[in-house]
Amino acid sequence: MNKQQVLSYLQQLQQTICSALEQLDGDGQFIKDSWQREEGGGGCSRVLENGRVIEKGGVNFSHVMGEQLPASATAARPELAGRSFEAMGVSLVIHPHNPFVPTCHMNVRFFVAEKPGEDPVWWFGGGFDLTPYYGFEDDCRHWHQTAYNACEPFGDALYDEFKTWCDQYFHIKHRDEARGVGGLFFDDLNRWDFKTCFAFMRSVGDAFVPAYLPIAEKRKDHPYQTSHVEFQRYRRGRYVEFNLVYDRGTLFGLQTGGRTESILMSLPSHVSWHYNWQPKPGSEEEKLYTDFLPVRDWLKQ
């Protein structure tokens, strides 16, 4: 196990993604906000707001450690009780101005819990998912084909397994609807040796830019009206609900005394809720619910 290799990769990944997103935006630049955590570790939050394409985007690197895990973590994994922990990762959320450009999320992370005299307990996690407001079939196929390509060298069944996990994980239970069109989600990954698990995490991390940028480039100049923005902001409310109620990374960060400003950077700048709103039958907005949010095999022609 080589923690330094993982750390170096994650720091470089943050830089690579920020550079690609700045090129996409054309005007905006990420500000750097380095921080330290009193209990141990720190990180660097990089945020772009009010760009030409990106309304709000955050790409966060964190490397934190502590003497013990929160009760929520050890309840599910009792073997971790009494162990110190170290967690590192890159997470991002991009909220574009244009309602025809999807919101996207990506996260890759490494976790290790150690105790003197015992073998370390380690695993990798991560994935990426897409949240369109107005769906395009070719965008969804491209997103999922790129996800498939990232998984394929590690086994033919991995894409199906981690796509299904993503569909299940990003399901908003209290609404009984999907957050978006999915992608990949994996956690507790230690089924292979360290080298192979790390290589898989890198494959997923490296796939984000080729998965998202072609979609954003294609849609960023799509004409839109005020009604499209209103629907975008309404659907962003679902994003907020999921992150604050269910998201593992958000809950872990808050429960371990993480930096709140960095943890909640995923929330959009402009969002709205309307009581018992329903899309008009046959509208573009209804099509999102009927054609895109239900679980689909996006690679089937």
Catalytic residues: 105
Matching residue, tokens 């998965």: 211
83 is in an annotated binding site: no
The H-or-E segment that residue 13 falls in is helix 3-25
105 is in an annotated binding site: yes
98 is in an annotated binding site: no
Among the residues of 77-193, which ranges form H helices?
137-151, 158-169
233 is in an annotated binding site: no
Max CA pair span of the chain: 64
Cβ–Cβ under 8 Å, residues 100 and 224: yes
63 is in an annotated binding site: no
State phi, psi for 34 to the nearest 5 degrees: -80, 145
Task: Give one DSSP letter per residue of 212-278, joined into a string.
Answer: HHHHHHHHTT----HHHHHHHHHHHHHHHHHHHHT-HHHHHHHHTT--HHHHGGGS-SS----TT--
Q: Tell me which DSSP letter residue 75 carries.
A: H
155 is in an annotated binding site: no
Burial class (CB in 10 A: 0-12, 13-18, 19+), 1: middle
258 is in an annotated binding site: yes
Cβ–Cβ under 8 Å, residues 154 and 124: no
Cβ–Cβ under 8 Å, residues 250 and 243: yes
**Non-local CB neighbours of 153 within 8 Å, separated by 6+ positions:** 203
108 is in an annotated binding site: yes
117 is in an annotated binding site: no
* Measured distance CA(208)–CA(147) in Å, rounded: 9
Which residue numbers belong to the known binding site? 91, 95, 105, 107-109, 144, 174, 257-259
Which residue numbers belong to the known binding site for a divalent metal cation? 95, 105, 144, 174
Which residue numbers belong to the known binding site for substrate? 91, 107-109, 257-259
